[in-house]
Chains A and B, each alone.
Chain A
Amino acid sequence: DGGITQSPKYLFRKEGQNVTLSCEQNLNHDAMYWYRQDPGQGLRLIYYSQIVNDFQKGDIAEGYSVSREKKESFPLTVTSAQKNPTAFYLCASSYSTGGPTEAFFGQGTRLTVV
């Protein structure tokens, strides 16, 4: 079945550590996105990529980094510079032509700082 796979589902990070969240899609989508969701809030865009080897900052990119070496993969690294990383992280993908299109979402990774 086509879809988006995020791993792990739950992740615990110690203070000062970098952690990487995985996102893989087999939908043949060009564009991929990372969103952050905090309790009682909507999703906020961290980074997005419309094509391999290119990505752009979203609204809250500070303390995060990404790479896009393959079309199918868009990992997100939460660095120690992110002061409040505890949140629910959602990865999404979509086609990147023909105007804004529906995005398909993964099931998310819940990151907790311990």
Chain B
Amino acid sequence: AQKVTQAQTEISVVEKEDVTLDCVYETRDTTYYLFWYKQPPSGELVFLIRRNSFDEQNEISGRYSWNFQKSTSSFNFTITASQVVDSAVYFCALSEAPGYSGSRLTFGEGTQLTVNP
């Protein structure tokens, strides 16, 4: 069975600090996809990134960066120079690929990030 663990329930930082959100996953499949979503107070989930299990390159998008390490089954997310608008709940999610397409996801419990001015 798949499982995603986000051990940090809540994180509070001051604006301009860097912050890393941890994500550890479990799966028996060799092919899988990992996702990060942001849930602002309005409620809808906003897609941030998708990575497949064969691509371990780190990725940077503006102030966001992701570190994928298969050896430790981790897919951590770093926000550089955080801003108040980054305050939200962030979810890490896993999707198995074999025999299925679409986006049937197993989510972690989420990390509530609060960025204080």
Contacts and interface: CB of A to CB of B under 8 A. Distances in A.
Given A33-B104, A100-B33, A105 B44 contact: yes
B109 A100 contact: no
A48 B43 contact: no
B7 interface: no
B102 A107 contact: no
Interface residues of A, number: 31
Interface string B88-112: 0001010111001111111111100
Contacts, number: 85
A99 B50 CA distance: 11
A107 B43 contact: yes
A102 interface: yes
A41 B109 contact: yes
Nearest to A56: B104
A99 B101 CA distance: 4
A69 B93 CA distance: 29
A92 to B, nearest CB: 7
Interface string A3-46: 00000000000000000000000000011010100001111110
B47 A104 contact: yes
B35 interface: yes
A58 B102 CA distance: 14
Interface string B1-42: 000101001000000000000000000000001010100001
A107 B101 contact: no
B116 interface: no
A33 B4 contact: no
Interface in B58-117: 91, 93, 95-97, 100-110
Interface of B: 4, 6, 9, 33, 35, 37, 42-47, 50, 52, 91, 93, 95-97, 100-110
